[in-house]
Amino acid sequence: MATSSKSSALERLKAYYNDEECVCTACGFVDDEADWAGETDGRVVEYSHECPCCGAVMEHTVDLTVA
């Protein structure tokens, strides 16, 4: 579990997006089941979520090197 601290931080951020950014910025659809996907290359994490209503993709990039 060498990466436990980093992964838990990523999970917290993902949970934050799931809670706080469940409203589509394009159409206003509220996705109660929003589940952001997170991908990391070890330096940055790219979170994305596609609106199930209009297909707009919201993205966040988090730089781990400054976190």
- Using CB under 5 A as the binding rule, whether residue 53 contacts Zn ion is answered as yes
Nearer to Zn ion, 52 or 67 (CB): 52
- Using CB under 5 A as the binding rule, whether residue 67 contacts Zn ion is answered as no
As a whole number of angstroms, the distance between CA 21 and CA 62 comes to 15
When binding is defined by CB under 5 A, the residue of 15, 27, 57, 67 that contacts Zn ion is 27
- Using CB under 5 A as the binding rule, whether residue 57 contacts Zn ion is answered as no
When binding is defined by CB under 5 A, the residue of 54, 57, 59, 67 that contacts Zn ion is 54
